[in-house]
Structure formats: C-alpha cells, structure tokens
Amino acid sequence: MTNNSGRPAFPTGQLPALAVTAAPLLLPLLSPGMIWLQSLIPMVVAYQMVALGYHQGRTVVIWAMLAAAMVALISGGLLILFFGLSMVPLGYILARGIALGEAPNWAGAKGLVYLLCFWLLLGAFSGITGSPGPVRVIQESLDHTVTTVMEEEEAAAAALANLRRVFDRTWPALFTISLLSLVWLNLMASHWLLRRRNPALSPWPEFKHWRLPDHFVLAAALGLLLWLSRLEPIASVGLNLVLIMGMLYFMQGLGVMSFLLAHWRLPPLLRGICYALVLLQVYGPVLLAILGLADVHLDWRRRLTNNNAA
C-alpha cells in the first residue's frame, strides 16, 4: 500500500493493528519500567506481517516505527528506541519463515544468529568507543556488590564472589540462553496467535510435536565430555555447551510434557497446575531437560501416536 510518491500510505483501515504494533515501541519511551514490552516486538511484527499480508503488514510496521521515532525525539529516548527497533528484524525473520513454510528450527536458528551478530557487533562497538559492554556492566555491578557486602557480612560476600567466578566462566552460555529464550518465546507466541486466528496462517506443527534434530545429542555428549575433562579452558567450553544444550532439551522436554498432558486429556486447570508444579520447582527445568534428552531415544510421542492409530 503506497501513495503516488512510492512511500507507504497511512493505513487508515488498520488503526487497531497499528496501535497494537506501536504499543511495545511507544510505551517504554513513556515509562522506562515497561521496557520489558520490547521483548514482544518480534511476536507483534511477525503476527502483523503474516495476518495482514506482507505488504500491508510492512506498512503498519513502518508507520509504527515512525510514530515511535517522533515520540523518541520529543522525549529524548533514542537509546531505548534503538533497542526496540533492533527487535523488528527478528520479527521479520520469523514472519518470512512462516510465510515460506520453513521449519521452525531453521527460522529460530536464523533469528538467533541475527541476535548474536547484533549484540557481538554492539559489544565490539562499545569496546572501540570505550563504553562498557553488557558483560562488563554486570561484572562491575557484582564487584561493587561484593565490596559493599564485605563490610557487613563475610559469608554473603563470599557467596557473591563465588557468583562472580561462575558468571565469568559461564557468561557465553547465559548470554546465548537469554537470546535463545527470546527467539523461542516469540516464535511460539506468534505461531500460537496465528493459529488462533486461522490455522491455515501458520504451517508449523503444534508445540507439543516440536523436537530437535536427533544428532544434536552429539553436541550434548561432547559438551559433557569436555566439562568432565577438568582441563581449562576446555572444561569451561564444555560447561557452556552443556548449559546451552540443556536449555534446548528443556524446551523439547516441555513439548513432551505438553503432549502427554494432552494425550491424557487433562482439563486446562489441571494442566496449568502440572506446569506450575514442575516449573516452579528448583529441579523442574533439569527434569524436563532430562525428559527431552530421553525422548531422543524413547520417542514417546511417536509411540503413543502409533498406539492410538492402531
């Protein structure tokens, strides 16, 4: 939808869609406490570009960004806007993956690569300009907290110092897991919303059928072997790989759990209670990761589906 000059025309017929798309961009500018809404931007962008069609969805997204830019100029929130706009390409990647019928694993992998490249480039730029990168900010914050607490309680200071050492060793995995979680949540949420509107809009399978390629288990085994070697820095590389693969198999385990709860036909209330009981336990995510890893060999979902068909 363009005007005679070739620029996108204002989408007067899509004002609700424009308002929904602009909200996660605008609200953090008006209230910094709502900056968490920026994590929803990829979901909103992907949904609009698929539900409205590529051209109309693109027009809505462009006008939403223009509205946010004007507010940022007035309020002085250009830095907040910058991070919000960095989420838009991820939404485009997910929308393109849905429209082209790409496998969700492939679309998610491309989104993860984009975010990794963006943050690595931002970190490199911060190093060039002398600005502290996000990792350095966390390290300095921990150091400051340790110094402050040492004056009052040595035990708490020792615990924080140990946390600092753990962070120094595992920050690549923690960084990757945070981006991976962001991609996964937006991928699943946009898929769920599109299926709710029209099942034909998304070709991806339901989450309860989602699984990793079987050969990923080799990466998990390699990481475990490197970690157990206790030879630095190889052991730290292995630990980071174990943590990343553990997160991936946690997702697969959650999918297996979703399938089993649906297979047993539990009502929604009981399903919610089951999810809460598992996810709120300290070892719940670990158990789900083990469940996802075991599913590589046991493949409960295929077996139960075949038994039902028989």
Instruction: For the chain, give the secondary structure using H, E and C.
Output: CECCCCCECCCHHHHHHHHHHHHHHHHHHHCHHHHHHHHHHHHHHHHHHHHCCHHHHHHHHHHHHHHHHHHHHHHCCHHHHHHHHCCHHHHHHHHHHHHCCCCHHHHHHHHHHHHHHHHHHHHHHHHHHCCCCHHHHHHHHHHHHHHHHHCCCHHHHHHHHHHHHHHHHHHHHHHHHHHHHHHHHHHHHHHHHHHHHCHHHCCCCCHHHCCCCCCHHHHHHHHHHHHHHCCCCHHHHHHHHHHHHHHHHHHHHHHHHHHHHHHCCCCHHHHHHHHHHHHCCCCHHHHHHHHHHHHHHHCHHHHHHHHHHC
Indicate whether 153 belongs to any domain.
Answer: no
Indicate whether 48 belongs to any domain.
Answer: yes
Indicate whether 286 belongs to any domain.
Answer: no
Indicate whether 32 belongs to any domain.
Answer: yes
Indicate whether 232 belongs to any domain.
Answer: no
Mean pLDDT of all residues in 236-244 = 95
Indicate whether 162 belongs to any domain.
Answer: no
Indicate whether 140 belongs to any domain.
Answer: no
Q: Which pLDDT does position 102 carry in this prediction?
A: 93
Mean pLDDT of all residues in 21-27 = 95
Q: Which domain holds residue 78?
A: 1-122+173-199
Which stretch, 10-24, 27-41, 295-309, has highest mean pLDDT?
Answer: 27-41
Each residue's pLDDT tens digit, 222-233: 999 999 998 888
Q: Which pLDDT does position 163 carry in this prediction?
A: 74
Each residue's pLDDT tens digit, 272-285: 999 999 988 888 99
Indicate whether 54 belongs to any domain.
Answer: yes
Structural domains counted in the chain:
1
